[in-house]
Structure 1
């Protein structure tokens, strides 16, 4: 189980074959790696599932390998449904254990188990960036000149990159870490780093084009992958308002809206999370959450309603189909500008 979706296993993966199952999307959400937050956002799960299916089917048309099988228990194409789905049918790859021993993660053990499986999850997140929004972590890790920009400092506005930037971070560690090429290559295992980059760029191009057709700017996002039959396949879910950041008429349309809202209404919790992660690193422990003494507050009901409309209206606009009874996307976006 993850913080926003659950697994339904139909057939376990084996040493000879991939398994089959479904992601069941909930209305829960997570920010700052906290896990399940106090409030669900109505309709959010169906929004993520619908956008994800739409993007997987676009990738399928473009010839990009994925683990997608369809939507719902019968693994149907999205076009066969009249209501937005909440379940994404997928092939299941093996997820090896990643031991944490003496303050370090044992990737040799992870890949030893992976070699015995028909297919396994690549323990990386592949991040692509087209712009650098104000909330982007890239600002704290790189100077503008490092990514081809003729600027001394990061301005307090979105910056468009001359070329997309692809980065790698850990997937299964309690605290995500961005990696240099050598460490990313080691952690990737049998999957080729160049192939992972190539697939990420294909996904980025497709989502960027789809977003532009609907009036969005695709700022950044990530993919996760499985390695099976000697090839990299796009896995998890792709191109949603949780995995990616989009803007519409200059306003963020993604989970970033909630993240920035919490920075404004609960800075003491955001700071406590940061302190707990730092302390966990210093003490060599994997789970930082027990070290955080502050709990996140619940959201105001009006905020939840506006965010729910943003997800629903945004999905309608992105897919070009009125799956949800929601305001026009421009109205929904305007409603979250002051959050």
Structure 2
């Protein structure tokens, strides 16, 4: 199980063939890599599944390969029925059918991870152990502000302004996926981690996904700021995996207001800074000690969200999904009302 999804295996991958499985999207959430937080966000799982399915089907129309096979509506029995297209659903689904690839163990010796061992066990069908990040803007809170200067992207300023900055062209970065603490990689480092997957093709795939999601966002009044994809290598074919273009994986804004998981991140930065600082300190200490379990070094735990905040964040997911898909899946406020509520947090 991931922090927010349960993974059910129907057929294990074998003999170079992908397997079959399902994601079940829960109402759990995670920020700052903490894992499952103290609360749940009502309807979040259904919103993520619905928005993710909509994007996978958009990618299919645009000839972008993915591991998506459809969704199951509540009451569908995966053992008895085939997955359906999102447009066949009468209610928002929580279960998504997918192709499954191998995820071998990633051995670690101190601070070093053994990617040669990972790929030796992976064969010709595996999850590429990278997250491929694409950025159209540099909003408040983006890690890019800490790592790189504006001049690297053709911007005529010495320091990042406080407001969101539009990039002249989308950029792609690579970070680790299965290490205890994600880290951004140089091109050469990412090439070594990717195995048989060609880095130029990974970049091209990420830019294709970005173009499709950005176009859909513009059509529905959103601004698509950044996001990421995960990828399956299937005997030479690269397929977009996990889930894509949701308010967890990507940053969107509406009317100048962030409407994504970033709302929760910024809320914790404002209201629970002791925990946020303790997380950063624990990660730094773990790096210094060369240990994987940074959470065991963290001296603070996150406070639960107030009920009013939980309700507003739920509205971000449900109203946002309604708006992005241009269909009223959820009984949710208007996006303008959600923006007002978020600004009042």
TM-score normalised according to structure 1 size? 0.98
Match of 2:108 among 100, 118, 126: 100
Match of 1:80 among 77, 88, 108: 88
The match for 2:336 is 330
| Pair 1:259 & 2:259 matched | no
Deviation for aligned residue 1:16: 3.0
Give SS of 1:336's match: helix
CA–CA distance in 2 between the matches of 1:185 and 1:103?
19
CA–CA distance in 2 between the matches of 1:146 and 1:277?
27
The match for 1:185 is 191
Match of 2:213 among 184, 207, 216: 207
Superposed, which structure 2 residues align to 1:230-241 within 5 Å?
A: 230-241=236-247
Q: CA RMSD in A?
A: 0.7
CA–CA distance in 1 between the matches of 2:239 and 2:343?
37
Q: Is the 8 A contact 1:100 1:286 kept in 2?
A: no
Q: Is the 8 A contact 1:69 1:91 kept in 2?
A: yes
The match for 2:36 is 36
- 1:176-199: CA deviation from partner (whole Å, max 9, x where unpaired): 100000000000010000000000
The match for 1:6 is 6
The match for 1:170 is 176
Give SS of 1:161's match: strand
TM-score normalised according to structure 2 size? 0.97
Give SS of 2:168's match: strand
4+ residue segments displaced more than 4 Å: none
Deviation for aligned residue 1:147: 1.6
The match for 1:319 is 325
| Pair 1:268 & 2:274 matched | yes
The match for 1:112 is 120
Give SS of 1:88's match: strand
CA–CA distance in 1 between the matches of 2:311 and 2:97?
29
Q: Is the 8 A contact 2:16 2:235 kept in 1?
A: no
Deviation for aligned residue 1:27: 0.3
- Number of matched residues? 337
CA–CA distance in 1 between the matches of 2:194 and 2:64?
19
The gaps in structure 2 that reach 5 residues or longer are 73-77
Q: Is the 8 A contact 2:66 2:241 kept in 1?
A: yes
CA–CA distance in 2 between the matches of 1:287 and 1:122?
23
CA–CA distance in 1 between the matches of 2:93 and 2:248?
17
